Structure 1
Amino acid sequence: MLHGVDVSSYNSSYSAQGQDFVFVKATEGRSYINPHQNAQAAKAREAGCVVGFYHFLWPGNIAAQARYFVEKCASVQGDVLICDWERTGAGTYASNAQKDQFLVEVKKLRPSAHRVVLYCNRDFWLNHDTTSYAADGLWIADYVTAGKPRIKAKWLFHQYTDHPLDKDVANFSSKAALKKWAHA
């Protein structure tokens, strides 16, 4: 099992040492850009990590959000692109159809350069998702033992805690296997 972290602007001074992958919040809706994403990604790259960027999805304007994400995130070829599907601060969330549309739009905008992944918590996966569409893979949040999320679906990444920051594991046999998957 591989280890990684996911960071946002709140984690500007995280350490990538000893990690296999780092996922960085890039954008949210159509108005927020993480001002630290370039530095956070550079730190991960320097440590030899696989890098990913995620977009916090809001309801509405899905095609515009997908364009905003791919234009504003600091990704390079081979980075993982992620849809973060959960409740907004206002308690709303994008519909299942909007989540699927966002994943499809990002794959259309970056057809061969990136893997596209869905991030959601266990509640969303079990109680809101109706299609089980996760593009190239599922990143599930379930705060239990690392690598043992309480779902039956195949998952690639598991966020198992948020203390002292978001920690994750990846279901790959080696870092080389993760890099090969990310660059395919």
Structure 2
Amino acid sequence: MTVNGIDVASYQNSSYGTAGLGFVIVKATEGTGYINPKHAAQVATGRTHGLVVGHYHFAKAGPVADQVAYFLRHAAPQAGDILALDWEDTAVSAADKDAWLKQAQAAAPGHRVLLYCNRDFWLNRDRTSQCGDGLWIADPGAAAGHPRVEHAWTVHQYSETGGIDHDVANFADKAALRTWAAKGVAAPAYEPFPGASWFTVGRRSPIVAAMHDRLVAVGCDHYAGSANKDLIGSGDVASYEAWQRKYNTQHDKGWTGAALKWPPGKETWDALKVPNV
């Protein structure tokens, strides 16, 4: 389950539509010389309509500490607001990205801090997988809630329609998102390992469908299709065994034989991060 939201900047109206939304993330600043002139009004619209509010900073080349201070001063976040770094300028290094996130978390310890970037930056420019309290991934080529990244994600920007960027947050509902934003829970939550004996061919469960989606997302897709994806079948067996081989190689586990076979084990299950359903 996910929560619908949007992100806005000076290109959008201050009185944007909020029907069906649970959150809005508003551009506040860019570098150390630009403030979104509509920021205050756009934030006010979100608060008036009961949305979870976030603020983002577009990083430019230059001193990181100065940009963090500039952003926090002009964003003026309230308790429960989300903060985010927009990393899409090629002049900003992965090291600068990491430093910004770390310094923002230290300077605003009461707030969640996200990293926003597209798949190219995440897959080809990032070096550490550091994303603060969560990854806000831009992948407009993927269906809402199914970004094509292996890393666990918190927000997925999936489309732009009518001049508005649309997002979903990986939470059961707005209340769960609000609680997380206020640092009331450590989330998003993932399905706990149900035990090896649970994975019997023919079992039907929404957990199986969620597992299917994660296996596809991490590049271990040995499914013939998505029909009856909530039912454990041969595609799940082949796909999960591919995931165990991939995990084994990536982490130099040295597993052989039965350790690479069905059913799933707790370590690879926890690493797969199947969303709580």
TM-score, structure 1 length as denominator?
Answer: 0.95
Question: Per-residue CA shift, 1:110-166, capped at 9, x if unaligned?
Answer: 11x210000000110000001000010000000121111110100010000122210
Answer yes or no: is 1:157 the counterpart of 2:155: yes
Q: Number of paired residues?
A: 179
Aligned position for 2:5: 4
Specify the SS of the correspondent of 2:179.
helix
**Does the 8 A contact of 1:38 with 1:74 survive in 2?**
no
After TM superposition, the structure 1 = structure 2 runs for residues 53-132 of structure 1, keeping only pairs within 5 Å, are: 53-87=55-89, 92-111=90-109, 113-132=110-129
**Does the 8 A contact of 1:57 with 1:94 survive in 2?**
yes
**Does the 8 A contact of 1:85 with 1:93 survive in 2?**
no
**Does the 8 A contact of 1:30 with 1:64 survive in 2?**
yes
**Does the 8 A contact of 1:27 with 1:34 survive in 2?**
yes
| 1:10 CA drift (Å) | 0.7
**Does the 8 A contact of 1:118 with 1:139 survive in 2?**
yes
Question: Per-residue CA shift, 1:40-98, capped at 9, x if unaligned?
Answer: 011111111100000000122111000000011142111000000002xxxx3310000
Choose between structure 1 and 2: higher strand proportion.
1
Aligned equivalents of 1:79, 1:114: Cα separation in 2: 6
Aligned equivalents of 1:16, 1:27: Cα separation in 2: 23
Aligned position for 2:26: 24
Choose between structure 1 and 2: higher helix proportion.
2
Specify the SS of the correspondent of 2:158.
strand
Aligned equivalents of 2:19, 2:91: Cα separation in 1: 34
The residue type paired with residue 48 of structure 1 is G
> Which runs of 5 or more residues in structure 1 are unaligned?
none
Instruction: Give 1:133's match in structure 2, choosing from 130, 134, 138.
Output: 130
Aligned position for 1:171: 170
Q: Which of the pair has more CA radius of gyration?
A: 2
Specify the SS of the correspondent of 2:4.
strand
Aligned equivalents of 2:51, 2:122: Cα separation in 1: 27
**Does the 8 A contact of 1:20 with 1:50 survive in 2?**
yes
Question: Per-residue CA shift, 1:14-40, capped at 9, x if unaligned?
Answer: 212321000000000000001111110
Aligned equivalents of 1:180, 1:75: Cα separation in 2: 16
Aligned equivalents of 1:41, 1:50: Cα separation in 2: 10
Higher relative contact order (CA 8 A, sep 6+): 1
Aligned position for 2:38: 36
- RMSD of aligned Cα (Å): 0.9
